[in-house]
Structure 1
Amino acid sequence: MARREWTVEEEKYMNKYYLRQPTKRTAKALNRSIESVSKKAVQMRINTYYDGYLSAHVLAECFSTNTQVIKRWVEKFNLPAIKINDSKNRTRYQIDPENFWKWADDHRNVINWSGYDLCSILPEPQWVEFEQLRYKTKRHCRNFTANEIVQIKHMLRRCMTYKEIAEKLGRTERSIEAKVRKIA
């Protein structure tokens, strides 16, 4: 079978409906294979954070955890989410950031705030920074998050010392020095 180019109308349809219905239904509506639709969604970057919704995977990355934690929040603690049954017996969750923050305000004790990357879910309430500081733990023997690496690079450009960067991130000076050698 010959490969068909994607039309503008098909891409608009993907933007509008991909996250709101199963992949199988989208594929049928576009007369394409499920694999083709899934690959196009990845290319268009609409499989994670699109149309104002966060996927469970992206939300998990913001908290430096895995999707099972988000699934537990949805199922046991009633996190408001749109449930989408995918074609491969898989369930996807789409979460509205504003609804998430309303829920998080009532469930502060359920969430481990130590792994949250500030400003990763917007609009962010003012109380979040306080909660994160309250939950701050020593970052001993833990991998650097992508956000921490970006922060290190930014602070180096501002000519901050390793000691200042370490204090800001709650890490040791030697760990910052070693990480800079690896990323430089």
Structure 2
Amino acid sequence: MKYAPEDLQMIKDQLGSQSLSTIARRLNRSITALEVKITRLGLSHTKSCTGMLTAGELAKILKIDRNTVMQWILNHDLDYHQRITRSKKKFTFINTDEFWLWAEKNRHKIDFSKLEPDTLPPEPYWVAEERKTPRQVTSYKAWTKNEEKLVLEWHCCGKTLAEISDILGRTRESIRKKIKRLTE
């Protein structure tokens, strides 16, 4: 049974956002027949057909943990897209252009000195300058008991968040949150 042009378009549109079983059901086809058609159309590797990076691939390029990228998505508004590949496995994808827009506003979260040139094209003009300055990114680093004790002590002695931040190499915001949690 031949596929109508509108059926082929529906496959291309739905592939990645719906599972194969759902698409097959809508077309009144078997999953095997649909898989054969997807392979013949050159769409069988849905993950690479998106033109985006998975959270894990982005983490590997930036030389950080995948969980850090997931925290950027959950807590720091990094745009992402979820796609279903083949059956029901979901992947979190990040568009490179959207990442660069986010990264420009969140430069303090990324150590660009670890990023090889032109690994994520198109690389914005400002990245070359950022790459020259290695920075200690301490986001999501666990607090030690000693650090907690020192933060409270320094805070009570009147040190500013900026001074504590410089000493511990953490952001002012993380120190403010830690003081709030420790004093409640």
- TM-score, length basis structure 2: 0.50
Aligned partner of 1:21 in structure 2 is 18
Contact between 2:79 and 2:99, CA under 8 Å: does it hold in 1? yes
| Structure 1 unaligned blocks of 5 or more | 1-6, 138-184
Q: Contact between 1:55 and 1:95, CA under 8 Å: does it hold in 2?
A: yes
Distance apart, 1:61 and its partner CA: 2.6
Deviation at 1:79, TM superposition (A): 0.2
Q: Secondary structure at the match of 1:92?
A: strand
Q: Retained in 2: the 8 A contact 1:19–1:94? A: no
Distance 2:16 2:80 in 1: 12
Change (3 A) 1:12 1:77: same
Corresponding residue number in structure 1 for 2:81: 82
Give distance in 2, aligned partners of 1:61 and 1:45: 20
Aligned in 2, Cα 1:55/1:18: closer, same or farther, shift over 3 Å?
A: farther
Aligned residues: 129
Q: Secondary structure at the match of 1:79?
A: coil
Q: Distance in 1 between matches of 2:18 and 2:130?
A: 35
For 1:116, the equivalent position in structure 2 comes to: 115
Whether the aligned pair in 2 keeps the contact of 1:84 and 1:92 (CA below 8 Å) is yes
Q: Which amino acid aligns with 2:16?
A: L
The 3 A distance-change label for structure 1 pair 24 and 70 is farther
Q: Is 1:93–2:96 an aligned residue pair?
A: no
> What amino acid does structure 1 have at the position aligned with 2:98?
N
Q: Does structure 1 residue 62 correspond to structure 2 residue 40?
A: no
Over aligned residue pairs, what C-alpha RMSD do you find?
3.9
The aligned amino acid for 1:58 is E
Structure 1 residue 107, shift from structure 2 partner: 0.5
> What secondary structure sits across from 1:94 in the alignment?
strand
Shift, 1:129, TM fit: 2.0
Runs of at least 5 residues in structure 2 that lack an aligned partner in the other structure:
137-184
In structure 2, do the counterparts of structure 1 residues 44 and 78 end up closer, same or farther at CA, with 3 Å as the change threshold?
same
Asked if 2 retains the 8 angstrom alpha-carbon contact of 1:65 and 1:115, the reply is no
> Could you tell me how far 1:136 is from its partner in structure 2?
7.3
Written as runs of structure 1 = structure 2, the 5 A alignment for 1:1-184 is 15-22=12-19, 24-26=21-23, 28-29=25-26, 31-33=29-31, 44-48=44-48, 50=50, 52-84=51-83, 88=88, 91-135=90-134
Cα pair distance change 1:70/1:14, threshold 3 Å:
farther
- Once residues 49 and 131 of structure 1 are traced to their aligned partners in structure 2, the CA distance between those partners, rounded to angstroms, is 31
**Code of the aligned partner of 1:102:** L
**1:77 offset after TM fit, Å?**
0.7
Shift in Å, 1:106: 0.3
Deviations 1:70-90 (A, max 9, x none): 2111001110112346765x6
| Alpha-carbon distance change, 108 to 136 in structure 1, aligned in 2, over 3 angstroms | closer
Partner of 1:168: none
Secondary structure of residue in 1 paired with 2:16: helix
Larger of the two Rg values belongs to structure: 2
TM-score (norm 1): 0.50
Moved more, 92-101 or 25-34: 25-34
